[in-house]
Amino acid sequence: MDLDTTTDVIPQADPFDLFREWYAEAHEFELNDSNAMALATATPDGVPSVRMVLLKGHGPDGFVFYTNAHSRKGSELLANPVASLLFHWKSLRRQIRIDGTISQVDPAMADEYFHSRARDSQLGAVASDQSAPLDSRATFIARFQDAEARFADGEIERPPHWTGFRLTPRAIEFWIDRPNRLHERRLFVQDGSAAWSSTLLYP
């Protein structure tokens, strides 16, 4: 992407409006999983871990994703409810980093999203003890088939530990790759009220 190296490109705008704009462009130009984001969590004593998850909702109230609360990430989010997100859209040469606090979505919202998924994905969530040791893939397939038989005649019940989490941001950083590593970074920080302040950062 050929960008002028002297003019600010990232505006001092509402960070949520700017996110929506960049996210829409990523949906158009990023070939695979434009909603993929790295989720970084940590234990209460500060041991970090990171993995890719999919964004399923966003707005001024936060950024929503779903997972098994018994998984490593789920357990860490419950025990230490802060996290970071990273979007990296290579086709656009852009990144967005988001730091914030974590809360669970309400059960009705989790139910609605769970039942919007493909039926086999729902069954997989029922069958999986995510992140727990597994003796063989055959065991998992057998559990999937058991769930398939159990719910053959009706709606699949969402496991109570399969839920959604919302990251409420307190800092959002937008990054653009520019020639000769003269990148542009703008950090938005919530000032304790509903207002956001922003500043450019050295690359």
Catalytic residues: 181
Q: How far is the C-alpha of 9 from the C-alpha of 186, rounded, in Å?
A: 10
Strand partners of residue 185? 175, 201
HSE-CB at 31 with a 13 A cutoff on CA atoms is 2
CA angle centred on 18, ends 169 and 102, rounded to 5°: 15
Q: How far is the C-alpha of 135 from the C-alpha of 137, rounded, in Å?
A: 7
CB–CB of 101/78 below 8 Å?
no
For every residue of 64-87, which 3-state class applies, written as one string?
EEEEECCCHHHHHHHHCCEEEEEE
Q: How far is the C-alpha of 188 from the C-alpha of 15, rounded, in Å?
A: 7
